[in-house]
Amino acid sequence: SHNRLLIKNGKVVNADGMADADLYIEEGVIKQLGRNLIIPGGTRTIDAAGLLLLPGGIDPHTHLDVEFMGTKSADDFYQGTKAAVAGGTTMIIDFVLPAKEESLIDAYYEWRRRADEKVCCDYGLHVAVTWWSSSVKKEMEELVEKHGVNSFKSFLAYKGSYQLSDTELYHVFNACKELGALPMVHAENGDIIAENTKKLLNAGITGPEGHEMSRPEEVEAEATNRACVIANQVGSPLYVVHVMSKSAGNVVAAKRDEKLSNGEECVIFGETLAASVGTHSHGTGYSCWSHAAAHVLSPPLRPDPTTPEYLMRLLANDGLQLTGSDNCTFTAEQKAVGKENFTKIPNGVNGVEDRMSVVWEKGVETGIIDPPRFVAITSTNAAKIFNIYPKKGVLAVGSDADIVLWNPRKTRTISAKTHHHKTDYNIFEGLTCHGVPDYVIVGGRVCVDEGELKAVQGLGNFVPTPTFSPTCYPAFKPEENGIDKNAIIHEEIAALRLNNTSSKP
Ligand code: DUC
Ligand code: ZN
Ligand code: ZN
Ligand code: ZN
């Protein structure tokens, strides 16, 4: 879009500070930032008095239009990114999920085909490595070199479909290291889950409560620790997706403080979910089957009621670094396939729309985090870790005009009646959140305008995520990867960098 836009009187919030500033956008990019800007006539002006200007949310973890557990997720790339934009998220990173034995490149092209024409905001792709051979390694190389993929996810769970052995994991991490890519893991011990599941079903436990019982938090913590050990042995960094329990969160936080035998820091990143800080387990004592089944995802929500706040505190003290949604929605009808057997309930929840509001409510509104840390864990850290900073994840001159005008005083109550997902329930139903995006600007275009959603199908683009130089391993320092920040960031924005509280990343 060639539209010009001036946003006046707002408070700019970046991960490392806040300041009052006006912001001028042209051709989808932030061109000026500061006071007394000189603006061409005929420019639309939005008065942002009382509003916070945040870098658009980046959701590093979605599953749109995916075949999973014998069915297909309800939100496709149109529905899912429309919901994202409605909630203040202006970029998602989705997971290509190749079937066992399927070519990773073919699967990648299939994802591009599903997404390119439909996305209402920019998107990137991680690729899951669901099987292992020398041809997979070659394909990883091609994905990195030619297709803008810099992250590969492996599963330690889903035995019989996606689960890799420790040996295979070692090889995937090693390939990532050689390529300058980032390995990601779904950390749960799939072998133990399979045995526990048999026992539970034999004992007649078939309801959704059996899901969490089959995979209690120590099963997550063990796999998290094992993945960290393998990464350290290989000398690769590691990104742990969806940390859902106190024990697994503690593992990530502790590993980040460890030193490797060569004295380098461990480079471990941990992501938790809107679901895990915003709602609770429905394992036992539920009154409604479909309500409980709606909350089934893997790893599961935990019965320990202190978990959500604990994870938020880990986000506050940099034990964890990011929040995703793991948005993988199924209708009540799809969930009902598991009516007689919890192992058949398709795993997944909503979250791409509500992540920003839920994290604000549970983090900022409670006083656990401040607005800059909110920006770090909803946007900036993802941009840095996936190497698209400062194009994304910061409001600076030269950055993409992906901006949320956040109203911290307004509230909204989350409901399936008003959400933009294709599903008939919402796991945050009834939760009232402070923090409403009055305006959402996607690539310079106003896609939420005075609260009204005007998402545009196909507006978004695929954003290649470049690799990191393998020579920077294991001291993986995203912000030092050849980007000359001073070349694009004006004095004005330097002045915005007030209290530099950021550590890793
Ligand atoms: N977990 C889920 O709950 N859904 C999608 C994939 C996953 O790992
Ligand atoms: Zn997963
Ligand atoms: Zn409930
Ligand atoms: Zn996932």
SS (H, E, C) 284-338: CCCCCHHHHHHCCCCCCCCCCCCHHHHHHHHHHCCCCCEEECCECCCCHHHHHHH
Q: State residue 286's pLDDT score.
A: 84
Residue 373, φ and ψ in degrees, nearest 5: -70, -35
Tell me how crowded residue 263 is: count the other CB atoms within 10 A of its CB: 6
* 8 Å CB contact between 289 and 208: yes
Contacts of 464 (CB under 8 A, 6+ apart): 124, 147, 148, 149
Q: State residue 169's pLDDT score.
A: 98
Cβ–ligand 1 distance for 275 under 6 Å, the answer: no
- Look at ligand 1, atom 8, and give the residue with the nearest C-alpha: 298
Cβ–ligand 1 distance for 298 under 6 Å, the answer: yes
- Look at ligand 1, atom 1, and give the residue with the nearest C-alpha: 298
Angle between helix 246-257 and 307-316 (nearest 10): 20
* 8 Å CB contact between 428 and 279: yes
How many angstroms does the Cα of residue 61 sit away from the middle of ligand 2?
Answer: 9
pLDDT, greater one: 478 or 453? 453
Cβ–ligand 1 distance for 363 under 6 Å, the answer: no
Q: State residue 283's pLDDT score.
A: 77
* Chain segment 131-162, per-residue pLDDT in tens: 999 999 999 999 999 999 999 999 999 999 99
Tell me how crowded residue 38 is: count the other CB atoms within 10 A of its CB: 6
- Look at ligand 1, atom 5, and give the residue with the nearest C-alpha: 348
Which among 242, 281, 301 is the best mutation to test ligand 1's pocket, defined by most ligand atoms within 8 Å of the CB? 242
- The Cα–Cα gap between 164 and 438 comes to 44
Instruction: Give alpha helix (H) positions in 416-465.
Output: none
What ligand 1 atom has the least distance to the C-alpha of 68?
Answer: 5
Q: Say yes or no to pLDDT of 501 above 70.
A: no
Cβ–ligand 1 distance for 118 under 6 Å, the answer: no
Per the document, the length of the chain is: 505
Cβ–ligand 1 distance for 63 under 6 Å, the answer: yes
Q: Say yes or no to pLDDT of 364 above 80.
A: yes
* 8 Å CB contact between 269 and 240: yes
Ion ligand 4 neighbours (CB, 5 A) are: 326
How many angstroms does the Cα of residue 193 sit away from the middle of ligand 1?
Answer: 15
* 8 Å CB contact between 282 and 295: yes
* Chain segment 49-91, per-residue pLDDT in tens: 999 999 999 999 999 999 999 999 999 999 999 999 999 999 9
Query: Which pLDDT band, with edges at 50, 70 and 90, does 413 fall under?
Result: very high
What ligand 1 atom has the least distance to the C-alpha of 155?
Answer: 8
How many angstroms does the Cα of residue 280 sit away from the middle of ligand 3?
Answer: 7
Contacts of 181 (CB under 8 A, 6+ apart): 140, 144, 149, 150, 151, 152, 175, 467, 468
* 8 Å CB contact between 400 and 29: yes
**In one letter, which amino acid is 483?**
I
How many angstroms does the Cα of residue 328 sit away from the middle of ligand 4?
Answer: 7
What ligand 1 atom has the least distance to the C-alpha of 95?
Answer: 6
Q: State residue 505's pLDDT score.
A: 38
- The Cα–Cα gap between 32 and 23 comes to 6
How many angstroms does the Cα of residue 249 sit away from the middle of ligand 3?
Answer: 24
Q: State residue 282's pLDDT score.
A: 82
Torsional sign, CA 250, 59, 139, 135: positive
Give me the interface pTM, i.e. the ipTM: 0.95
Average pLDDT over residues 461-477: 66
Q: State residue 265's pLDDT score.
A: 74
Helix (H) or strand (E) holding 228: helix 217-234
Q: State residue 480's pLDDT score.
A: 41
Cβ–ligand 1 distance for 97 under 6 Å, the answer: no
What ligand 1 atom has the least distance to the C-alpha of 63?
Answer: 5
Query: Which pLDDT band, with edges at 50, 70 and 90, does 356 fall under?
Result: very high
Identify whether 474 is preceded by a cis peptide bond (ω within 30 of 0): yes
Q: Rounded to two decimals, what is the model's pTM?
A: 0.94
What ligand 1 atom has the least distance to the C-alpha of 296?
Answer: 3
- Look at ligand 1, atom 3, and give the residue with the nearest C-alpha: 297
* Chain segment 31-41, per-residue pLDDT in tens: 999 999 999 99
Residue 474 CA from chain centroid, whole number: 23
Angle formed at CA 452 by CA 364 and CA 439, multiple of 5 degrees: 45
Average pLDDT over residues 20-32: 95
Q: State residue 2's pLDDT score.
A: 53
pLDDT, greater one: 3 or 199? 199
Average pLDDT over residues 395-408: 96
What ligand 1 atom has the least distance to the C-alpha of 349?
Answer: 3
Cβ–ligand 1 distance for 328 under 6 Å, the answer: yes
Torsion of Cα atoms, 361 then 124 then 269 then 214, to 10°:
80
Cβ–ligand 1 distance for 273 under 6 Å, the answer: no
